[in-house]
Structures are given as structure tokens and as C-alpha cells.
Amino acid sequence: MALPRAARTQRRTRIQEAKEEQILEAALEVFSLHGFRGATVDQIAEVAGMSKPNLLYYFRTKETMHRALITRVLDTWLDPLREFDAEGNPVSEIRSYIRRKLEMARDFPRESRLFANEILQGAPNIEDELKGPLKSLVDEKAEVIRSWAKAGKIAKCDPYHLIFSIWSTTQHYADFDVQVRAVLGQGQSGEGRFEDAARFLEQLFLGGLNVSEQPSEA
């Protein structure tokens, strides 16, 4: 991954770090609205409130900013899956995963759109990560799900498609939020829509897996 220019200086100051975050925040706003191809350095500089030459001191190209954001988003996106615990109760683990993914859809809609746009473009900036660290992590958690099925804790299922289904249903509430709110209408489109979604998805996935409620071990 190409580092911002300031990150390669020996004495990286708090001011430099703050400027980089300011630029990345502006880049996230622009990329999430216009996509990578539609975004320009001029637009990012304007949103960041700085001159283009000043911005280019910290990040030489649009590609560098985009790659920094995508790498950060992918790492954040994988955190809930990393916490999937083989020793945990399947009910608690699956419910927690669904809810954490919905919380991310609620709290990070711009990051979700950025990631979705990257995937739709063929993942040119993160293909290596998808085939490497992401695949390894999903393989690991797929074995956790298989172990639960073998132990009779859940119904047999394809663990990969279970994970894909949780990804798609939860991220829908970020990527298609305008549609969701329009269809739900004024009475149901407030913040409570995420709790409603969580309850339904728990019913959908836990019910489909025939998971019996069991008290978590102390």
C-alpha cells in the first residue's frame, strides 16, 4: 500500500496526522457520492477546505487516497467476523454478528457505499486482500459454523452462503437506505428501523438454522 507522503517523513507531527485525517474525511465524502471515477482531486480539496497543492503534499494522487480509505474500510468491515468465537453459543454469536453488521450499516453508510463501489468496479484496489486475508478469515469462520453443525447445535448449512447472506441483508440498510426509508414511510423510517431489521434478521437466520435458545456459559 502506498503511504501518504507525510507518513514517510521521519518526524511525523500531530498537525500532519490531523491534515491526513481531514483529507481522508473529505475524500470519503466525495468518493461515496461520486464513486472513484467521478471524483476529482479538486472536489476533494474543496471539501477539505485546502488548496490542491497542499492536499497533494500529503497524498500525491486520487488513487492513494482511495486505496488508504478502502484498506481502512475493509479492516473495519472484518472486525465483527474476527470476533466470531468458536467456543461461544451459536445463538449469541450469530445474533451478535447480525447486530454488529447492522450497527455498521447505520453508523458507516458512506464507508459502505465506498466499499460497494469498489466491488462493483471489480475490486482493483483490494483484490489481493479479498483473495488473501479476507478469504483466510472466512475459511476459518466457515469451519466454526461447520463445527456447530456437526455438534448438532445448528442445522447443516453452507457456511459461506450463510455469511454472504448476512453480509447482503445487513449492508442493504446502508447501500439502499433511501429506498428503505421511502418504502417504510414516515412512521417506520426512523432510527427504530435498524432494531426492527435486527429482530427480523435474527428470526430469519436463527429460525432457519433451527438454533435452540440456550443460556450462555458463565
Domain-by-domain residue ranges, the chain?
5-60, 82-208
Residue 3 in this model has a pLDDT that exceeds 70: no
Domain 82-208, CATH? 1.10.357.10
Lookup: cell for 44 = 476533494
Question: What is the rounded average pLDDT of the residues 73-82?
Answer: 89
CATH 1.10.10.60 fits 5-60, yes or no: yes
HSE at residue 77, side-chain half, CA atoms within 13 A, is 27
Residue 1 in this model has a pLDDT that exceeds 70: no
Which pLDDT score is estimated for 125? 82
C-alpha 30/C-alpha 4 separation (Å) is: 18
At a CB cut-off of 8 Å and minimum separation 6, what does 173 contact? 102, 105, 106, 180, 193, 194, 197
CB 66 within 8 A of CB 178: no
- More confident call, 12 vs 53: 53
Residue 10 in this model has a pLDDT that exceeds 60: no
Q: Hey, CA dihedral for 33, 38, 41, 45, is it positive or negative?
A: negative
Question: What is the rounded average pLDDT of the residues 98-115?
Answer: 93
Residue 210 in this model has a pLDDT that exceeds 80: yes
Which pLDDT score is estimated for 77? 87
Average predicted confidence (pLDDT) for the chain: 89
Question: What is the rounded average pLDDT of the residues 83-108?
Answer: 93
Which pLDDT score is estimated for 211? 63
Residue 124 in this model has a pLDDT that exceeds 90: no
Which pLDDT score is estimated for 4? 53
Residue ranges of alpha helices (H) inside 39-175 are 41-48, 52-58, 62-82, 90-107, 109-120, 127-129, 135-150, 159-175
Amino acid occupying residue 120: L
Does pTM top 0.85 for this prediction?
A: no
Lowest mean pLDDT among 17-31, 44-58, 92-106, 110-124: 110-124
Which letter does DSSP use for residue 124 in this model? T
Domains 5-60 and 82-208 share a fold: no
Question: What is the rounded average pLDDT of the residues 112-136?
Answer: 90
The fraction of the chain above a pLDDT of 70, given in percent, is 91
